[in-house]
Each structure stands twice: as C-alpha cells, then as structure tokens.
Amino acid sequence: MADQNQLLEFTVDESGERLDRFLVEQLSDVSRAEVQRWLKEGRATVGGKLAKASQKLAADDIVTLLRPPTVAAVIAAEDIPLEVLYEDGDLLVVNKPAGMVTHPAPGQTSGTLVNALLARDPQQAAVGGPERAGIVHRLDRDTSGALVVAKTPDAFRHLKGQFKRRQVDKTYLTLVEGLVEVLEGRIEAPIARDPRHRKRMTVISEQRGGRRSVTAFRVVNIYRSSVSQRGDHFTLLEVDLLTGRTHQIRV
C-alpha cells in the first residue's frame, strides 16, 4: 500500500477482549498472526504504554497501532464508473455496488473503490493516505450501499470521529430465507470468530470471548418463493446495528 508506517488510533467500546483479537476485528484485511507479529515488534500501545497481545482491554481504552506497509505496489488509479449520490466541497457519497472491494489488500490491489476514487480525483491520495483516499468507513465486498468519502483532511478527521463516536445512523436492507413472523424486534447475542473457521463469525458465549451484539429489525415485505431451502418464503428486513461487530448482520 503506502511506503510509510501508518499511525492508527481506536477507542475500545467494551471491557474484556484481548488486544490481538480487538485489532483483528478493527483491521479486516490482516490475519491474527500478522497482528501478533506487530505486537511483538512493539507497534501497539494501550493508554500510551506498550502492550502485549494477551492484554485485556477496558472500555474507553485508547489503542494506538503503528501499522507497517502491507502492499508494496503503488495503488493505481483506475477509471471505474461510480454512482454519486451526493457531493459538496467537503464530502462525497457514492453507491458502492455489490462485488466491489472497498480498500486494496494483499491479493486485491485493483478494481477497488480506492482505485476508482484516485482516478476521479488524484488529490484524494492526500486525504487519509493513498490507501484510504478519503474513505471513512467501509462496506463488505458483497454489500451495496451508500459510502461516505471525505474530500479534505479536516473533513476526514471530523467524519472519522463521528463514526467512532457512533453519531452516524446506519440502516441496512437484507433478504433472508424463511418467514420471519415477528414484525419487529431486537436480537441480542454475543458473537466472535468461529474457533473452527477463523474467517467466519458465530454466536459464542461471553465466557469464550463473545462480544455483545444488538441488532434491531423490522419486516419490510414477505415474498413467496419456490427456490428457498427453508420453506417457501423470503423476508425482506430493515436492520439497524446498535453495535458494530464484524459480520453482525450475517450472523
């Protein structure tokens, strides 16, 4: 990615999680082994003090990480069409299509939203670094929707702060197999990485490292179908994430 170290800062929401697991959740494009190597190199602090991978975090702890370059290649500008939903002098909102990766990562250095933004305006490389190009949050590859991009360093800093402080409301539409008979409600369950499949998240007890997750949902529509394996219905839900866990909606 970039040819310089990147200083990242995170605020911890809840107590009890190990530092290495916390950082893996924050950095979706790196493995736990890679994070642990960085921690052994002394690249992370908690509250201004060097911290080990096994350190348990407390709510409101400030975690800083000096992230090394992860992709040596220069990020190329690529003329990829973007649907612009809103734009002013400070920010840009684009409709990210399903199938597009937000940021370049090892094995995926082209065809991303960052590549498209750099082609649209090369000055975006100065907003959060070329690997960010002003993007202040992300959506998974298979998720489409509105994505906010800062156009100036000041806007980048302020918008990142708003997302960190949960001052931004995020609503999703998701189609699920089966008939959801409860018209609206909340799902509360601790989730964490599946110990048998590290790339998956699953419901797991807090004693085994699960983190509290809360999801509010409302039924928007119900469709009949002959292809569902869980009955003859699909249900369209409007979902609000009251916590921000990795793959929370999918779980």
DSSP 133-156: TTB-S---TT--EEEEEESSHHHH
Domain map (residue ranges) of the chain: 6-67, 83-164, 171-241
Residue 48 has pLDDT above 50, yes or no: yes
Residue 88 has pLDDT above 90, yes or no: yes
Yes or no: say if 161 and 215 are a contact pair by the CB < 8 Å rule.
no
Rounded to whole angstroms, how far apart are CA atoms 184 and 199? 30
Phi, psi dihedrals of residue 85, rounded to the nearest 5°: -90, -30
Cβ–Cβ contacts within 10 Å for residue 243, how many?
15
The CATH number assigned to the domain with range 6-67 reads 3.10.290.10
pLDDT tens track for 106-154: 778 899 999 999 999 999 988 987 888 999 988 888 899 999 999 999 9
Mean pLDDT of the chain: 86
| pLDDT average, residue stretch 68-97 | 87
* Integer CA distances (angstroms), 114 to 57, 104, 160, 248, in order: 32, 7, 17, 24
Residue 5 has pLDDT above 70, yes or no: yes
Q: pLDDT band for 72, please (50, 70, 90 cuts).
A: very low
Rounded to whole angstroms, how far apart are CA atoms 196 and 40? 25
| pLDDT average, residue stretch 5-13 | 84
Largest alpha-carbon pair distance within the chain? 58
Q: pLDDT band for 229, please (50, 70, 90 cuts).
A: low
90 is catalytic: no
User: Quick one: pLDDT at residue 78?
Assistant: 95
| pLDDT average, residue stretch 155-172 | 88
First to last CA, the chain: 31
Residue 2 has pLDDT above 60, yes or no: no
The CATH number assigned to the domain with range 83-164 reads 3.30.2350.10
Catalytic residue among 3, 29, 79, 140: 140
| pLDDT average, residue stretch 4-17 | 83
pTM of the entire predicted model? 0.68
Rounded to whole angstroms, how far apart are CA atoms 92 and 11? 25
Yes or no: say if 29 and 69 are a contact pair by the CB < 8 Å rule.
no
Q: pLDDT band for 228, please (50, 70, 90 cuts).
A: low
